Amino acid sequence: MNVRQWRWGGLHAVCQRLETRWWWQILNVFVIAAALLWAAWFTQDMHRYVHILFPLTLFITFLAFFRRYGALACTVAVIYLLHVINQKKIQATTDPLMAIDLVSYRQAADLTSYIDPRIAMAVLVLVLAVVWAIVSQRSRGAWRWRVAALLPFLFAILLQSGWVPAIEQPVKGMLRDKLALYATSWDPAGSLRVNSLLGHLWFTAETINVPERGDAPIPFYRSRSMPSPVADQSALPLDVYLVLCEACWGPEQALQQTPLKHLLKQGFQARTVYSPEYGGNTANAEFEMLAGLPARKLGGVVYTNFGVVMRKDAATLPRELQAQKYETYALHNFRAVFWKRNIVYPKFGFEHLTFLEDMAWRGEGWPDDALLFDTAWQRVERKTAANRFFFMLTVHTHGSYAEDQDRGHGDYTQRLDQTMRQMAAFVEKIRAYNRQAKRRALFVVFGDHKPSLPRWFYEEGVLDRNMFSQTGSSESDFRFVATFTPEQRRRLQSVPLLAWSDDPAFDLSGWLDSLHEKPFYCVSAGLANRLLKPTSDFYAAVQNFCQSDQMKEFLFTEKMFTRELFSAEVYADRLFE
């Protein structure tokens, strides 16, 4: 036996003797508890002592596979990795990490632009912790102890499965009433504050539960008390261009001083509307515009959470237009699998899909929007006597932005100017084409959300200090507060809506006035009531609500989702089996 083996054997013998001492066992408990508390404190994720329940459950789960300190290392590494990812997502979008974000592997593969050195380091720490736990693994206790260690985790999964409501409701009631831990699906930031990150991830796992419709009539549909406006009556074929402009924004009173001036020179009129998002989650913005429903009710990213389980003939604006003989097109110069659009769009009623894979793009970064407009022009030139609905999504202005150029705003403005020039040129081609082909056009362009420029917005006074919990000298220093007032939401989520039509009979200005300072689903209803003959009960009810004083009072509050308004039954009726 060499010296190293002798020393290791002696140390192992000492450890075995210590394992039999009661005070050593108590010391281990204190060390483990202290480490879990330190991890929660270090990640700023422990606002109340009850939050220790979630890392403790994770630690016990790892005990089923590793010895105590291997399990502890893995627990701390997981907590740190989730914390870093959560901070990155909040910085980019103001929304915290959701449970579905951890299981959508295709989405993660496409979000590589958000990876930074901290995330890479956290992944490395987790890998090293698992390797060390495996290498240091020796004999374990009986298999029954391993099964017992898994029971808390399995019980937590069972509670969120919805399979045993007789157990689920009392337990969640106890968590709510005794421990003040509860889900707030309409307010993810509030959920993070109330439940801590691990608790928030557990609660948001229920967002994948599909809304179900009851047998009784849906009260919301009975609210159709105002007559639908006169729909389009012209005999000339109509082409509708609904353009989601990625991160397109400008100060409401100074659009002429922004790249949006290129559309204003083309005769576009502008108003302000409200996006459901800030800085990201484009899919929720387009969901509201296409489905006419508030995205926040379902929680997380709607396409990612529910795209697979939506029914094949979901009732949306393009579906209802298709039923009235419109040809429906969706075009986007980015990957088809991003936000699961390749799954969602056919269910929403789009007959013709075109994504980046169908375009001649071989570059890197966010693709040039000229690809989108050139491809759309090829579709426009196809001769047809039918009305057409084009849904087009730009992408070149997607964040992040080079901070050394006026805190990111310079880079953003340069890209936005390029896209606006390309869009204006496309509109001019449509003008000339319509005169020759005897067709009409309605262009509706909306910014899906503000760009993620928190430092610039703060220093320029667009967003006030009370909206941030932390500021600094660089973009990464800024953190938003956990919750916003309705007025702060209006400032954070206001975006431009621009429209143009070559139909002299259409009161475009009056139509836009009816949508000013309304959320996206009201714009969807405005389009439906303009284009559909007749309008469906659903869209008539949404239009009625959007024109009421009740909408102004309830906007950005949980009052939106009562039994009488946007209940789960409405979502089930429109989107699910």
Using DSSP's 3-state secondary structure scheme, residue 187 falls into: coil
Q: Is the pLDDT confidence value at 347 over 90?
A: yes
Whole-angstrom CA distances from 510 to 269, 271, 451, 515, 546 are 11, 11, 29, 9, 15
Q: How confident is the model at residue 330 (pLDDT cuts 50, 70, 90)?
A: very high
Tell me the backbone φ, ψ of residue 505, rounded to 5 degrees: -85, -10
- 395 in helix, strand or coil? coil
Q: How does pLDDT run across 442-451, given as a tens digit for each residue?
A: 999 999 999 9
- 387-419 pLDDT, tens digit per residue, is 999 999 999 999 889 888 888 999 999 999 999
Q: How far apart are CA 483 and CA 184, in angstroms?
A: 12
Total Cβ atoms within 10 A of residue 180: 11
**Average of per-residue pLDDT across 45-52:** 72
How far apart are alpha carbons 379 and 76 in whole angstroms? 54
- Going by pLDDT thresholds of 50, 70 and 90, the confidence category of residue 521 is very high
pLDDT of residue 8: 45
Which of the residue ranges 36-45, 498-507, 515-524 would you say has the lowest mean pLDDT? 36-45
Lowest-pLDDT choice from 233-237, 308-312, 326-330? 233-237
Q: Average pLDDT, stretch 75-80?
A: 87
What is the C-alpha to C-alpha distance for residues 264 and 373, in angstroms, rounded to an integer? 18
Phi and psi (nearest 5°) for 313? -120, 50
Distance in angstroms (rounded) separating the CA atoms of residues 412 and 396: 10
Question: Comparing 428 with 218, which gets the higher pLDDT?
Answer: 428
Return the pLDDT at 5.
Answer: 46
Going from the C-alpha of 387 to that of each of 336, 374, 539, the distances in angstroms are 25, 20, 20
CA distance linking residue 250 with residue 237, whole number of Å: 33
Q: Please, what is the average pLDDT of the chain?
A: 83
Q: How far is CA 318 from CA 395, 525, 539, in A?
A: 21, 12, 13
pLDDT at 13: 58
- pLDDT reported for residue 179: 77
Distances in Å between the Cα of 536 and the Cα atoms of 125, 321, 414 are 55, 11, 42
Cα–Cα dist 268/501, whole Å: 8
Spatial contact of 494 and 274, defined as CB atoms under 8 Å apart: yes
CB 285 within 8 Å of CB 496: no
| Digit-coded pLDDT (tens) for 225-239 | 544 455 555 678 999
Q: Which domains does the chain have, with CATH numbers?
A: 3-208 (no CATH), 245-450+483-575 (3.40.720.10)
- The pLDDT-based confidence of 527 (bands split at 50, 70, 90) is very high
Helix axes 68-93, 188-204, angle to 10 degrees: 140
Contacts of 497 (CB under 8 A, 6+ apart): 270, 271, 272, 273, 444, 445, 446, 512, 515, 523
Give 380-437 as a DSSP string.
HTS--SS-EEEEEE--TTPSP--TTTGGGHHHHHHHHHHHHHHHHHHHHHHHHHHHHH
Match 């690809």 to its residue by tokens. Answer: 371
* Cβ neighbours around 22 below 10 Å, total: 7
190-199, 388-397, 531-540: which range is least confident on average? Answer: 190-199
Half-sphere exposure of 537 (CA within 13 A, CB side): 10
Choose the weakest-confidence range: 52-61, 255-264, 520-529. Answer: 52-61
Residue closest to 187 by CA, chosen among 207, 208, 161, 211? 207
pLDDT band at 53 (very low <50, low <70, confident <90, very high): confident
Query: Residue 519 has what DSSP assignment?
Result: B
Q: Give the pLDDT mean for 308-329.
A: 94
Per-residue pLDDT reduced to its tens digit, 84-105: 888 887 877 667 887 777 765 5
How far is it, in rounded angstroms, from Cα 246 to Cα 236? 31
Confidence label for 556 from pLDDT (cuts 50, 70 and 90): confident
Residue count of the chain, please give it.
577
Q: Among 165-169, 295-299, 368-372, where is mean pLDDT lowest?
A: 165-169
pLDDT of residue 97: 81
- 């012209």: which residue's tokens? 234
Torsion of CA 406, 409, 412, 417, to 10 degrees: -90
Position 147 scores a pLDDT of: 64
Number of other CB atoms surrounding residue 399 within 10 Å: 21
Whether residue 51 has pLDDT greater than 60: yes
| 506 bridge partner residues | none
CA–CA distance, 509 with 271 (Å, rounded to integer): 10
Q: Would you state the structure tokens that stand for residue 556, as one six-digit string?
A: 């950005």
Quick one: average pLDDT of 362-388? 93
Q: What is the H or E stretch that residue 574 is in?
A: helix 568-575
pLDDT in tens, 142-172: 555 666 666 776 667 666 655 555 666 677 7
The token pair that represents 168 in the structure block: 């689920």
pLDDT for 526 equals 95
Looking at residue 236, the DSSP 8-state letter turns out to be: S
Task: Kindly state the average pLDDT of the residues 232-254.
Answer: 88
Q: Pick 24 or 370 by higher pLDDT.
A: 370
Closest CA relative to residue 512, chosen from 419, 415, 438, 443: 443
- Backbone phi, psi, residue 332, to 5°: -150, 130
